[in-house]
Amino acid sequence: MTSLRIWHPFTQAALDPSPLPVARGEGAYLILEDGRRIVDAVSSWWVNLHGHGHPRIAAAIAEQAKKLEHVILAGFTHDKAEELAQRLRKWVPGDLTHLFFSDDGSTAVEVALKLAVQYWSNLGRPEKREIAALEHGYHGDTAGAMSVSDDSPFTEPFGSMRFPVHRVHSAYCHRCPLGLERATCHIECTESLAKLLADRGEQIAAVIVEPLLQGAGGMIVHPIEFLQKVRALCTKHDVLLIADEVLTGFGRTGKMFACDQAGIAPDLMCLSKGLTGGFLPMGVTLCTARVEAAFRSHDPRNTFFHGHSYTGNPLACAAACASLQLFEDEPVFERIAAIAKIHAERLARLREAGAVGETRQIGTVAAIELGADDAGYLSGLRPRLYRYFLERSVLLRPLGNVVYVLPPYVIPPDELHRVYDVIGQAIETLL
Ligand code: PLP
């Protein structure tokens, strides 16, 4: 009998070496079966916050498993789901009063898009169903999330599965879509959204953004004013604003949520990744009372008919509650500030290297855009850099010619410095 083999995401079976077997995780480290310790400088696809194997989160999951592993959430509830809702309420912007569970970042986005479209339909305005999204955006791999994501190698084969979306400028200052300089511009890049909403606001249900930081599109950091202007435009034209905080949530940008940095509140917010501290998959979509009210109806057709089997899973809720408790019991924001300081110091030094086009930073996320003739996700630099880093026991996964560092908050400062030493050597050696 032939064996059943795992199909690993993002790997080219013809080219890539065999996957590395990980025996366990500890803090910022992955320990391989052969004993090698690899520093996880990407938080295992941006999910881990407080370190691998944090005993408090592990214990919370084990405790919960002994009580209730899962229950249908339609018509039932459980104490960990209720506790999580109350805990999140303390952190999220005040206008967000309702929470809908799903499974991951992509499904949290699907829920937000569907809620936005049905919201207007329930209000008797079914023509208001179009979506606007940003250039360079990435919102996940399911069909709706791919539709609102910008064109990329991730979406290219699936054109026929994507619904049409209005694409407007993002604030990619290093490659400004209008050829302006940040020092003297007035965030004119929002004018394409302003024009769209002025022309078609009556048909547009929602604008979706990754607030302040576009992740998979190249770790592009936006000026705060960009997000503030997008919020103001949505309000002016009565269009819902969806903030996809799947990556930016839970302290990554220096505050609990990126929206907090800009002092704005969205109408819908998507969370996942760090929600459970990186232990279990779970997504949530939060919305305002105004949005939820449109679904309170005696007409069954106004019901939101969406629900995944593992919606509100008690084990994931227990992990999320324990992770949020760690924000209160451990010096999480001090750790975040310490990482941000090291990023700033080391990026300033790296900027002097000739091959570095731009460095970007927001909170615990740092990016180094390298000059390359084949800039973009499929840049030939990517596999060479990846291998170079791994040979030195550093897990970094460049987005094409953009190297980024996004560590768990517990990374020891000297280890973070070593990550930068290795990046510096790679730039000297490979470019
Ligand atoms: N939204 C953003 C901003 C993301 O960065 C991602 C994943 O990287 C997603 C959505 C999709 O999340 P998931 O991979 O959990 O489906």
State pLDDT tens for residues 313-333.
999 999 999 999 999 999 999
Q: Name the residue among 289, 118, 139 with its Cα closest to residue 211.
A: 139
Protein residue with least CA distance to atom 1, ligand 1: 139
CB of 187 sitting under 6 A from ligand 1: no
* Of the options 3.40.50.300, 3.30.1370.60, 2.40.110.10, 3.40.640.10, the CATH number for the domain spanning 58-328: 3.40.640.10
Tens of pLDDT, residue by residue over 112-148, are 999 999 999 999 999 999 999 999 999 999 999 999 9
- Indicate the domain borders of the chain: 22-50+331-430, 58-328
User: Which atom of ligand 1 approaches the CA of 105 most closely?
Assistant: 12
**Lowest mean pLDDT, pick from 280-284, 294-298, 373-377:** 373-377
Instruction: Give Dmax over CA atoms of the chain in angstroms.
Output: 67
- This prediction's pTM: 0.98
CB of 103 sitting under 6 A from ligand 1: no
Cα 406 to ligand 1 centroid, rounded to whole Å: 15
Q: Name the residue among 196, 113, 177, 195 with its Cα closest to residue 147.
A: 113
Residues 6+ apart with CB under 8 A from 373: none
Helix residue ranges, H only, 181-312 = 191-200, 224-236, 258-262, 289-293
- Looking at residue 94, its pLDDT comes to 86
- Looking at residue 183, its pLDDT comes to 92
Cα 132 to ligand 1 centroid, rounded to whole Å: 18
CB of 244 sitting under 6 A from ligand 1: yes
Residue 17 has pLDDT above 90, yes or no: no
- Looking at residue 375, its pLDDT comes to 86
Q: What is the CA radius of gyration of the chain?
A: 22
Protein residue with least CA distance to atom 10, ligand 1: 139
* Of the options 3.90.1150.10, 1.20.200.10, 3.40.50.300, 3.30.200.20, the CATH number for the domain spanning 22-50+331-430: 3.90.1150.10
Tens of pLDDT, residue by residue over 333-354, are 999 999 999 999 999 999 988 8
Tens of pLDDT, residue by residue over 41-92, are 999 999 999 999 999 999 999 999 999 999 999 999 999 999 999 999 999 9
Q: Name the residue among 105, 370, 96 with its Cα closest to residue 215.
A: 105
